[in-house]
Amino acid sequence: MKPRVSINNYILAVVVLFFVLLVGMLMKARYRLPSETTIVAPIAEIEVPRAVPVAIPVDEAVQETRDYKQGDWWVLPRPSLIVSRANEADTLRIRSGSKEDVFVLYFVDAAETSWIRPSRLHEQSNYFHKAPVERVMDSGNEARTWVSQLLRDHPFKLYTKWGKVPDTERYYAFITVEAEPGKQFDLGEMLVRRGFAMPLGLQTKLLPDILPPLDRYKAMLGKALAMAKSERVGAWAFAPEALPKL
């Protein structure tokens, strides 16, 4: 065979082979097998989570007013007694709201509880018709215990002008106690009536509206004093000499 003819035959064979491969690829693309089918899966839309509002707990406790104004007086509506060794029947540490203060009752002077003020003790002994000073102190301690129990067991209110006791951080005040349902009683009068105090404390002309006017209030204390003497209660029980008739 001549060389030229061989080359032509080779080229023809390559062309035929290329044609067969091309036809095969076209047929495969047209008649693709099911297993080879390309499935385009839908892309699910992913929702970006929004910020969820978080409920912040709020303290629902209503803070009660520490005090409010009533005429010339400031009223502590829901005070509580703080137990203290420094307390006396007429000198009390009181909490109202978040604060604590010491208050001294107007109009009355309760029996002493110790020898801290000996001259005062002797004055009280003379007032209670020569009652021994030891018995005056006994009455003072009994009075302190009685007041502590009273103010723990019954609601009370305090009335003050925030007037200071000289040279101290104490304030003068009235205290009324709901010793019976719906009835308010003046603590000073209660102390005098039980023979635990003398009506000799600092006075003030204007009294809180819950108390009677000045003249009637003084008369009320005088009546309480007369009954305590007559019944010989409290420190009056220790007077060695006969009490004068009233």
Which has the closest alpha carbon to 112: 87, 130, 149?
87
- Condensed to tens digits (0 to 9), the pLDDT of residues 106-156 reads 999 999 999 999 999 999 999 999 999 999 999 999 999 999 999 999 999
pTM of model > 0.75: no
- Condensed to tens digits (0 to 9), the pLDDT of residues 17-53 reads 777 677 667 665 554 544 444 444 444 444 545 544 5
Indicate left, alpha or beta for 127 from its phi (over 0: left) and psi (-120 to 50: alpha). Answer: alpha
Give the mean pLDDT of 4-9: 66
Q: Which residue has the higher pLDDT, 212 or 3?
A: 212
Which has the closest alpha carbon to 173: 186, 188, 158?
158
Q: Which domains does the chain have, with CATH numbers?
A: 68-238 (2.40.50.90)
Q: Which residue has the higher pLDDT, 239 or 54?
A: 239
